[in-house]
Amino acid sequence: MGARDTLGKHIDPALMVVDGPSISPLKQGKSVSIATIGPWRLIAGKLIRQKVAMAAGAVILFLYLVGLFAEFLAPALPSTSKPQYTYAPPQGISLFVTQPDGSTEFNPHVKGYKIEIEKVALRRTFVVDDSKVVPIGFFVKGPAYELWGLIPMDRHLIGPLNPNDPMYLLGTDRLGRDVFSRLIYGTRVSMSIGLVGVAVSLVLGVVFGSISGFYGGWVDTVIQRIIEVISAMPTIPLWLGLAAAIPLTWSPVSVYFVITIIVSLLGWTSLAREVRGRFLALRSEDFVTAARLDGSSEARLIFRHILPSLTSHILAVVTLAVPTMIVAETSLSFLGIGLKPPVVSWGVLLQDAQNIRTVATAPWLLIWPSLAVIVAVLSFNFFGDGLRDAADPYDN
Amino acid sequence: MLGYIFKRVLYMIPTLFGMSLISFLIIQLPPGDYLTSMIATMSDSGQAVDPAEIERLKEIYGFDDPFYIQYLKWIWGILSRGDFGRSFEWNQPVADLIWARMGSTLVISLLSLLFVWVVALPIGIYSAVRRHTVGDHIFTFFGFIGLAVPNFILALILMYVAYKYLGQSVGGLNSPEFAEAPWSLAKVGDFLAHLWIPIIIIGASGTAALIRILRANLTDELHKPYVITARAKGLPEYKVILKYPVRIALNPFVSAIGWVLPHLVSGVTITAIVLNLPTAGPLLFRALVSQDMYLAGSFILLLSALTLVGMLLSDLLLALLDPRIRFN
Amino acid sequence: MNDLPDDVVLSVENLSVDFRLRTHILHAVEKVSFQLKRGQTLCLVGESGSGKSVTARSLLQIIDRPGRIVGGRILLKNGDAITDIATLSPDSNAMRAIRGRRIGLIFQEPMSSLSPVHTIGSQIVEAIRLHTNLDKKAARERMIDLLRQVEIPNPDKMADRYTFEFSGGMRQRAMIAMALAGDPDILIADEPTTALDVTTQAEILDLIKRLQVGRGMAMLLITHDMGLVAEVADEVAVMRFGRIVEHGTVDAIYHAAGHPYTRQLLASTVKLTRQANVGKPAVMLSAEAPSPVLSVRNLGKTFGYAGNNTLRAVDDANFDLYPGENLGIVGESGSGKTTLGRLILRIVEPTAGTVFYRNKNGSEIEVTRLGKKGLRDFHREVRLVFQDPFASLNPRMTVKEVIGDPLIVNGLAKGKELEDRVAELMRLVGLDPMGMERYPHAFSGGQRQRIGIARALALEPRIIIADEATSALDVSIRSQILDLLLDIRRRLNLSFIFISHDISVVRYFCDRVAVMHRGRIVELGEAKQICTAPREAYTKSLISAVPNPDPRDKRMMHRQRFVAPINS
C-alpha cells in the first residue's frame, strides 16, 4: 500500500531502518536521528511546528504575567474614582509634541479633556482636547500599593508624570474609574478563576474517573449516571441556581471561592469521562498486558505505563476546559450573581455595559472587557487544540 | 425498533430522577424556607397573616419534615396533579406561570437547532472536502470566533451595533405595538423580524462546534475503503461523497443534539436575559434573584427535562438513520 | 506504439507514481510496465511497501492524495481505438465510464469496503444502473442474478440485508458481484483474500477464478502470498520498492527465477511447506516418557450469562506440553485459540477446568488455583509473545526500559548489570545492543517483534506462549523470526505453545499440533501426521485449502470441503 506498512500506520520513511522505495528530499534539513528522542521532546517538536498554537500559548503566558503583576502594570488603583472624569473617552498616546514655533520634540504624552455640552440632551460629556498635553513616562511614581499584598511600592510601569493629571488609555466608567487599570486587575481575577476552577475540576475528574475505571461494576455505573445527569442539564440555569444561593453577606473572597467551586463542579464531568475512557482504552492495550505479565504491580502499571501516555491528553483536555470556566465566571458576574464589586473581574466590568444606552455613549465599557474575554478564550482553544494534536507523538 | 424505544424511555427515568433531585436541592439551598420569607414579607407590608393558611401550606409542603419527605411531597405534587408549588413573589401557583414561558423557550431552541443544522451541514461538508483551501480556512477562523464569543457578549455587541447603526433597539420578540395584540399575519411577520437576532446569537457557538465535528468525522470517512469502492463503480464524485461518507458522518451530527441541546437551552436562558425575551430565562433569573425557589427549581427541572426529551429524539433519529444501531 | 497485440486489453508502460509529502517525494511506483491479456491472470506479487496496491489503483485513477501519476502510459483497448488512462482527468466522464464498466475492482477489507448503512442489494443495483439503462425492477433482477452467480444462498432475501449481517466471506462475494455489475472485461483483485480464513480464501479464489475464465476477463491479482500466486497465476510480476524486479510466466518464475529477490521470496515461502530440520529435543528422545511441564484439563470459557446468549469460546480443552516441545494450536478466526492461550496465563479467567504446571523443582502447581503472588511467579516462568509488534511495546519507553522492565520489577538486576543483561538479550535475538537507547518507533515490524521476544526471554522462562507472533510480518521476515525462535529453543531448552491461523507456520515450527474449531480441539497429533494425513474431516478441509507454492502442483483447487454440522 505505497507509503503504508502492514499495519496501516504511516511510517515516516526517514525512520525506516530497512531500505524502501526511493525518496527525493524536498528540503535540505538537518538530519537529526529521531530514534533516541523521548516522547516529551517529540510532543514539544510537534507543538512548535503549529504556529497558531504557539502564538496562542504566548498570549496566554502574557495574560498570566499581566495578572501576576497587575498592581505594577496598572497606572491607577482599580477603585479610585474621579467624579470629575465620568465616561471620559480613551486617549491615544503620542510621542512628539509640536512646539508653537513649529519644531517637534520628543515628549511622550496623552491629550487632556475638555467638557462639551451636548446641545440636544444638554448633557455634559468629555472630549479629548488636543491642546492639552499630559506628559507620561515609564516607571513613574503613582498611587501606593502592595505588590501581591506584601511589598509596598509606588512605581508603575506607565503613568502620567503628575499623578493628578488624567491618563485614561481605555477611558473611564460611570464613576470616573480608569478602565485600563480595572481591566488589568480583572485579568488577575478572571484568569485565575479559570486556572483554579480547572485544578478543582481536574482533581474531581481524576478522582471520580479513576474510581470509576478502577472499581468498575456498580460504582462505575452510578458515577457514570451522575455524570450523565449533570452533563444533560443545561449549564447556565444550573450555574444560576447554585450561584443565587450564595448569601449576599459573604465576603468577596468567600464568594470568589464558592464561584470557583460551582464552576468546577459542573465542569469536572467531561474530564472524568475523558480520563475514564482513555484509562480503559489504555488498560486493554497489549503493552499494558505485557507489563502486567512482567510482574508489575497495579500501582506500577498505572504510574509507569498508563499515566505517562495519559498526561499529554489530560493536559490538552484541561487546557480546553479553562475557557468554559472563564466564560462561566464572566456570565455569572455579568448577571450580578457571581463576583460582586469591589472585586474586579471581566464579568464585573461587563456589568457596566448592561444598559444599551450607556454602551452607546461609552462603547469602551463593552469593547475592552469583551475583547479580553474573547482573546483569552480563543487563545486557550487554539493552544488546547494544538496540544491535543501533538498529544500523541506516535500518531502521524 | 419498538423494543429499542421502550428501552430508551425506560433508561430516561433514573436520569430524570437525578435531575429532579438536583433541582430540589437548588430549591432547598438558600438559607431559610419559603414560608418564613413569606411571613416576613407579609408582616412587613402590614398584611394579616392567616395562621390557618400557614398551617395548610406547612402541611402541603412539609416544611417540618426531613429533606426526603419534602422531596417526595414535591415530586408527588408534580406527578399527580401537575403542582409545582407556589411562587412566593407572584403569589400564584408555579404551574400557571411557567407553561407559556416554556413554550416560547421550546420554539426558540428548536428554531436555533434548525439554524445550526442548516448552516453547519453544507459548511462542514465543504470544509472537509476542500480541506486546507482558502474557503476552509475562512470558515475555520469564523468557527473559532463563534466558539470563543460567549452568548451574552455576542448579544451585547449585536444590540450595540443595531442601536448605533440601525437606530433600533433590539429586544423582546415583538414590537411594542404588537405586544398585546392577538396573533395575526402582521404580528407573525414582526415576530420573525425580531427572531433572527436571538437565533444567530444562540446558534453561533453550536454551529461552530458542529462544523468542526462534521469536518473531523467526514475527513476520517473520506479515506475509508467503501468510498474507494463507490468511486471504483464509476459514480460521479459529488454522489460518491453525498451518498456514502456524508451519510455516515451524519451519525455524530445527529447524536450531537444530545449535547448541543443543553447548550442551546443554556444559550436561550442567558441571551433571553440580555435581550429581555419572554422565555424562561428572565423569569428564572428574577426568581433566583428574589429567591422565589419553587419557581426557579421548576424552571430548572423543566429545562433539563426538555434537553432530555431532545436527547431521546436524537437517539431515535439515529436508530432510524443507522441500521447498525437499529438491529442491535 | 499505438498498436497492441490482439489479446492485450490493457498495457501499462513505464508508469510512475509519486507521493509528495511534507519533507520529501516518495517514489512509490517507478517505471512499471506490464500487459493484461484477455482470459489471463497476471499476479503482481510483493511485500508491504512494494507499491503493488498503488499500481492497481492508478489504473482506475483512484490513488489517495497526495499520490499522483507522474509518468508513463496506461493504454486501454477501446474497440479499435486506444485510450491512455494516464492522460484522463480523475473526475472526467471518460474516466468514470471506465471505472466499473471496463475495469472492476475487488479489494482487501471485506469489513469496510462496503457501506454499512446501505443494503447489499442497493449498492449493487446502483452499480448496475450506472452502466446500463435498466429500470429499477430489471436492475434488481440482474442484481439477484449476480448474487446467485457468486453463490450467495437465498439471493432475493440476502439482497435486503446489511453488511454487518454478512460473514467476511459473504461480504467478499457481494463485493465480487458488485465488481461484475458493469460486466467489465478487466478485473483487479487487490489482496482479495488476505483478511479471510484459509478455507474461505480457497472458496473465494476458486469463485473468482471460475468467473474470470467463464467471462474471459483479464485479471490483475495483487497479493503477497507466493502460494496463492502458484495456484491462480498465468503470469507473474514481482515488485519490490516500487519497481518490477522480475516478470515471467508462472512456471518460469517458480522453477527458473532469475532475480535474487524472487529467489529469496520463494525460498522463504517454500521453506514453510516443510517441517524445520532441527530434530527433536533431547528430552523427548529419551526412552522414559518425561512428565509434561504443562497439562490442561477440561479447560473452558463461556462468555455471557447463562441463557441463550452464551458463547463457548473454549470448550473442554485437554492437552499436555512436554519439556522442550513446540506445540502448535491452529484454527481459523473465532475458533477460540487466542482465548485458550490467555486462559492458560489467566489473563482471561477460565470458567471450567484446570491447568497444571510443573515448576523447576519438579513439583506440580495448580495454576487455576493460584493467588496473586503465586500467579506472579508463574508468569515469570511462562511468558507471552504478542501478535502486534506495534501495540505490544510501550511507545514511551526505550528498548532498554522495555526489555529491562521485567528484570526491574522482579528485582533481578539494576544499573550496569541491567544494561549488560539487556545487551546480552538483544544480541540473543539478533539486535545490535547499540540501539538500546532508542524508542520502538525507530524499529521495523520484525525488529520490534525481536524486542518483544527479548522481553519474554528476560526472566529465563521455561515456556513461551506465542500468540500469532509472526502474523503481522512479511513472509521473509516471518521465516527469520521462526528460525530465531527455533534457535532460542535449542539454546535455552524452552517449550513453546505456538498459536497461529497459518498452517504453514505451524507445520514448520511445531512438533505436535492441536487443531481447534468452534472452541473445541478437534484433532491433536504429530505435526507431520496432521499436515499430511489428517484424520478428522475438518482438519482435512483445512489442510487441503492451504495454497501450495508450486504451479505444477495446484492442490488448493482440489481441496476437500467440510460442512460444519449445524448447532455443534
State pLDDT tens for residues A55-86. 888 888 998 888 888 787 777 777 777 777 77
Closest residue by Cα to residue C235 from C15, C74, C102, C39: C39
Q: Report percent pLDDT > 70 for chain A.
A: 88
pLDDT for residue A395:
59
Tell whether B96 is covered by a domain.
no
A contact test, residue of C44, C48, C447 with most A CBs within 10 A:
C48
Percent of chain C with pLDDT over 90: 36
Q: Is C148 helix (H, G, I), strand (E, B) or coil?
A: helix
- pLDDT reading at C139 higher than 90: yes
Residue C73 three-state SS: strand
Which band of pLDDT confidence, cut at 50, 70 and 90, is reported for residue C563? low
pLDDT at residue A199, rounded to an integer: 87
Cell representation of residue A52: 497558531
Q: Do A295 and C379 touch (CB under 8 A)?
A: yes
What pTM was estimated for this model as a whole?
0.80
Mean pLDDT of C451-476: 89
Q: Please write down the long-range contacts of C125-128, taking CB distance under 8 Å and 24 or more positions apart.
A: C126/B233, C126/B235, C127/B233, C127/B234, C127/C100, C127/C178, C127/C181, C127/C182, C128/C181, C128/C182
Sorting pLDDT into bands at 50, 70 and 90, what band is C104? very high
Residues of C whose CB is below 8 A from A26: 20-25
Q: Determine the average pLDDT of the residues in A234-251.
A: 79
What are the residue boundaries of the structural domains of chain C, listed by start?
1-102+186-193+217-273, 109-183, 282-547
A234 touches chain B (CB under 8 A): yes
Q: Taking CB atoms and an 8 Å cut-off, how many pairs form between chains A and C?
A: 153
3-state secondary structure C394-430: CCCCCHHHHHHHHHHHCCCCCHHHHHHHHHHHHHHCC
Calculate the average pLDDT of chain C: 87
Separation between Cα atoms, residue B178 and residue C194, nearest integer Å: 72
Which residues make Cβ contacts (< 8 Å) with residue B47, sequence separation at least 6?
A: none
Inter-chain touch A6–C53, beta carbons under 8 Å: no
Instruction: Look at residue B72 and tell me if it is in a domain.
Output: yes
CA distances from B141 to A319, B146, B155, B208 (A): 19, 9, 20, 10
pLDDT value of position A13: 39
Which chains border A (3 or more CB–CB pairs < 8 Å)? B, C
* A258 sits in which H/E element: helix A252-283
CB atoms within 10 A of CB C70: 15
The CATH topology of domain C1-102+186-193+217-273 is Rossmann fold (3.40.50)
For the stretch C464-479, pLDDT in tens is: 999 988 888 888 888 8
Query: What is the Cα–Cα distance from C27 to C29, expressed in whole angstroms?
Result: 6
Contacting residues of C for A50, CB less than 8 Å apart: none
Pairing of the two strands C352-358 and C294-303: antiparallel
Contact B210, B314 (CB under 8 A): no
Same domain, B79 and B106: no
Closest CA to C524 of C328, C313, C262: C328
Residue C499 in grid coordinates: 498459536
Q: pLDDT tens-digit profile of C255-298?
A: 888 889 999 888 888 888 888 766 655 445 455 567 889 999 99
Residue C346 has pLDDT above 60, yes or no: yes
Q: Which of B53, B83, B113 is the last residue of a domain?
A: B83
Q: Are residues B67 and B141 both part of a single domain?
A: no
- Please report the pLDDT score of residue B255 as a whole number: 78
Q: Compute the nearest-CA separation of B231 from chain C (Å).
A: 7
**Given A233, A244, A247, which is nearest B19 (Cβ)?**
A233
Question: Are residues B191 and B293 both part of a single domain?
Answer: yes
The position carrying cell 530434530 is C279
Inform me whether the pLDDT recorded for B12 exceeds 70.
yes
Closest C-alpha to C198, from C555, C567, C541, C549: C541
pLDDT, mean of residues C243-263:
90
Query: Pick from A229, A238, A359: which is nearest to B18 by CB?
Result: A229
Q: Which residue has the cell 491447568?
A: C355
3-state secondary structure of A355: coil
Domain of B275?
A: 102-326
| Residue B237: Cβ within 10 Å count | 13
As a whole number of angstroms, the distance between CA C478 and CA C471 comes to 8
Report phi then psi at C521, rounded to 5. Answer: -85, 110
Does pLDDT of C451 surpass 80?
yes
Q: Are residues B255 and B152 in the same domain?
A: yes
Q: Is C291 helix (H, G, I), strand (E, B) or coil?
A: coil
Mean pLDDT to the nearest integer, A18-46: 64
CA distance C246 to C238: 5
C78 compared with C41, residue with greater pLDDT = C41
Judged against a pLDDT cut of 70, whether residue C497 lies above it is answered with yes
The tally of CA atoms less than 13 A away on the side-chain side of residue A2 is 25
Edge-to-edge strand ranges of the sheet holding A104-117: A93-98, A104-117, A124-147, A151-160
Q: Which of B78-82, C113-117, C251-255 has the lowest mean pLDDT?
A: B78-82
Please give the C-alpha separations between residue B297 and each of B22, B62, B71, B85, B300, in angstroms, as whole numbers. Answer: 9, 17, 12, 10, 5
Q: Is the pLDDT of residue B38 over 80?
A: no
Summarize the confidence of residues B22-43 as an average pLDDT: 72
- H or E stretch including C28? strand C24-37
Q: Is the pLDDT of residue B271 over 80?
A: yes
Cα B224 from Cα C346, distance rounded (Å):
37
Q: For chain A, which domains are there?
A: 1-37 (no CATH), 83-177 (no CATH), 183-391 (1.10.3720.10)
> Quick one: B117 and B220 in the same domain?
yes
Contact yes or no for C96 and B229 at CB 8 A: no
Chain C residues with CB-CB distance to A18 below 8 A = 444
- C11 CB near a chain B CB, below 8 Å? no
Select the highest-mean-pLDDT range: A126-130, C47-51, C228-232. C228-232
Q: Which of A126-140, B138-152, C540-554 shows the lowest mean pLDDT across its residues?
A: A126-140
- Output phi, psi for C411, to 5 deg: 65, 35
Over the stretch C171-198, which tens digit does the pLDDT of each residue have? 999 999 999 998 999 999 998 888 888 8
Residues B324, C101: C-beta atoms closer than 8 Å = no
Asked, for residue B262, whether it belongs to a domain, the answer is yes
Are residues B233 and C181, on separate chains, in Cβ contact within 8 Å?
yes
The Cα of A22 is separated from the nearest Cα of chain C by a number of Å equal to: 6
Residue B7 placed within a domain: no
Question: B317 and B204, same structural domain?
Answer: yes
Instruction: Show residues of chain B in contact with A337, CB under 8 Å.
Output: 288-289
pLDDT level of residue C219 (50, 70, 90 thresholds): very high
Q: Are residues B39 and B107 in the same domain?
A: no
Residue C529 has pLDDT above 60, yes or no: yes
Distance from CA of A147 to the nearest CA of B (A): 32
In CATH, what number is assigned to the domain containing residue B140?
Answer: 1.10.3720.10
Q: Which of C115, C186, C187 to mutate to test the interface with B (most CBs of B within 10 A)?
A: C115
pLDDT at B80: 82
Q: Inspect the interface and report whether the beta carbons of C26 and A3 lie closer than 8 Å.
A: yes
Taking the Cβ of residue B114 and every Cβ of chain A, the question of whether any pair is shorter than 8 Å is answered with no
Please give the CATH architecture assigned to the domain spanning C282-547. 3-Layer(aba) Sandwich (3.40)
pLDDT at C288: 56
Residue A26 pLDDT: 64
Q: How many domains does chain B have?
A: 2
- Proportion of chain C in helix, strand, coil states, percent, rounded to 5: 40, 25, 35
Decide if B326 touches C, using CB distance below 8 A: no
Residue at a domain's end among B50, B83, B116: B83
Which pLDDT band, with edges at 50, 70 and 90, does A6 fall under? Answer: very low
Q: How far is CA B307 from CA A125, A331, B16, B82, B150, in A?
A: 48, 21, 11, 20, 20
Residue B316 lies in a domain: yes
pLDDT digits (tens, 9 = 90+) for A256-273: 888 888 888 777 887 787
pLDDT score at B193: 75
Let me know if residue B61 belongs to a domain.
yes
Instruction: Indicate the residue type of A379.
Output: S
In a domain? residue B216? yes
Instruction: Give the tens place of pLDDT for each residue, B135-178.
Output: 888 888 888 888 888 888 888 888 888 777 776 666 666 666 66
Read off the pLDDT of each residue in A316-334 and give the average, rounded to a whole number: 84
Please name the amino acid found at residue A179: V
Cβ contacts of residue C362 below 8 Å, gap of 6+?
none
Q: Given a cut of 60, is residue A28 above it in pLDDT?
A: no
Give pLDDT, residue A33: 53
Q: What is the pLDDT of residues C158-167, one digit of tens each?
A: 899 988 888 8
The three-class DSSP label of residue C105 is strand
Are B152 and B206 in the same domain? yes
pLDDT at B181: 67
Q: Where are the alpha helices (DSSP H) in C233-371?
A: 250-255, 260-271, 282-285, 337-345
Which amino acid belongs to residue C235?
A: E
β-bridge mates for residue C296, sequence order: C319, C355
Q: Is 80 exceeded by the pLDDT of residue A379?
A: yes
DSSP-assigned beta bridge partners for residue A263 = none
β pairing state of C294-303 and C382-385:
unpaired
Would residue A177 be called left, alpha or beta, if left means φ above 0 and alpha means ψ between -120 and 50 degrees?
beta
Q: Are residues B69 and B119 in the same domain?
A: no
Label residue A34 by pLDDT band (50, 70, 90).
Answer: low
Q: Is B228 at the interface with chain A, CB within 8 A?
A: no
Is residue A149 pLDDT above 80, yes or no? Answer: no
SS3 A247: coil
Reported as type and span, the H/E element at residue C221 is strand C218-223
pLDDT band with cut points at 50, 70 and 90 for residue C523: very high
As a whole number, mean pLDDT of residues A356-367 equals: 80
| Gap between the Cα atoms of B109 and C330, Å rounded | 59
Say what the pLDDT of residue A157 is.
Answer: 74
**Judgement on whether residues B135 and B32 belong to the same structural domain of the protein:** no
Q: Are B233 and C178 in contact (CB < 8 Å)?
A: yes
Highest mean pLDDT: which range of A74-88, A204-218, C486-500: C486-500
Give the other-Cβ count within 10 Å of B24's Cβ. 22
Question: Using an 8 Å Cβ cutoff, are A248 and A258 in contact?
Answer: no
Q: Which among A233, A234, A378 is the nearest to B148, CB-wise?
A: A378
Quick check: C158 and C71 in contact, CB under 8 A?
Answer: no
**B156 falls within a domain:** yes
Q: How far apart are the first and last CA of chain B?
A: 10
Dihedral sign, Cα of residue B303, residue B304, residue B305, residue B310: positive
B83, B113, B131 — which closes off a domain? Answer: B83
Measure C462 CA to nearest chain B CA, in Å. 44
The predicted-structure confidence for C421-432, as pLDDT tens digits, reads as follows 999 999 988 888
pLDDT tens digits, A150-194: 778 777 777 777 777 777 777 777 777 888 888 888 898 888 888
Q: How far apart are CA C400 and CA C383, in angstroms?
A: 18
- How are beta strands C520-526 and C512-517 bridged, if at all? antiparallel
Same domain, yes or no: B30 and B109: no
Nearest neighbour of C97 by CB, restricted to B225, B234, B247: B234
Q: What is the DSSP string of B64-77?
A: TS-HHHHHHHHHHH
Q: Do A373 and B153 touch (CB under 8 A)?
A: yes
Same domain, B178 and B314: yes
On whether any CB of chain B is under 8 Å from the CB of C161, the answer is: no
**Does the structure show a pLDDT above 80 at B57?**
no
Arithmetic mean of pLDDT, B245-267: 81
Q: Which helix (H) or strand (E) holds C354?
A: strand C352-358
Q: What are phi and psi of A101, to 5 degrees?
A: -80, 5
| Percent of chain B with pLDDT strictly greater than 90 | 1
Label residue A1 by pLDDT band (50, 70, 90).
very low
DSSP state of A172: B
